[in-house]
Amino acid sequence: EAQVTQNPRYLITVTGKKLTVTCSQNMNHEYMSWYRQDPGLGLRQIYYSMNVEVTDKGDVPEGYKVSRKEKRNFPLILESPSPNQTSLYFCASSLNPGTAYEQYFGPGTRLTVT
């Protein structure tokens, strides 16, 4: 089954404790992206990757890191989480954003930073 998977689905952590949210897709998509969803703000793009070893900042990259060492994986790293990073996070992938291809979304990771 074609899908985007994220782990963990739920995470409660404390301020400053480094964490990684994994994202993997099995559709051989070049483009991958991370979003955060907050009430009243919709989805905002954190980082995206056009292909392996190519990443770029989205609209809200502060406090986040990503890497793209393999085509299928795109982990999101929070080196020192803070309470304002409490949010619902989505990973998405697409064949190629240079065309009209839509994004496929993972199920989401709900992160709480205390």
Partner 1 sequence: AQSVTQLGSHVSVSEGALVLLRCNYSSSVPPYLFWYVQYPNQGLQLLLKYTSAATLVKGINGFEAEFKKSETSFHLTKPSAHMSDAAEYFCAVRGGNQFYFGTGTSLTVIP
Least Å from the CB of residue 53 to partner 1: 15
Minimum distance between the CB of residue 71 and partner 1, rounded to whole angstroms? Answer: 17
42/62 with CB nearer partner 1: 42
Please choose, from the candidates 8, 6, 24, 3, the residue with its C-alpha nearest in 3D space to the C-alpha of residue 72: 24
Binding stretches for partner 1 (CB under 8 A) = 4, 31, 33, 35, 40-45, 48, 50, 56, 58-59, 90, 92, 97-98, 100, 102-108
List Cβ neighbours of 54 (8 Å cut-off, separation of 6 or more).
Answer: 68
In whole angstroms, the minimum distance from the beta carbon of 7 to partner 1 comes to 14
Contact present, 44 and 58 (Cβ < 8 Å): yes
Q: Are 98 and 66 in contact (CB under 8 A)?
A: no
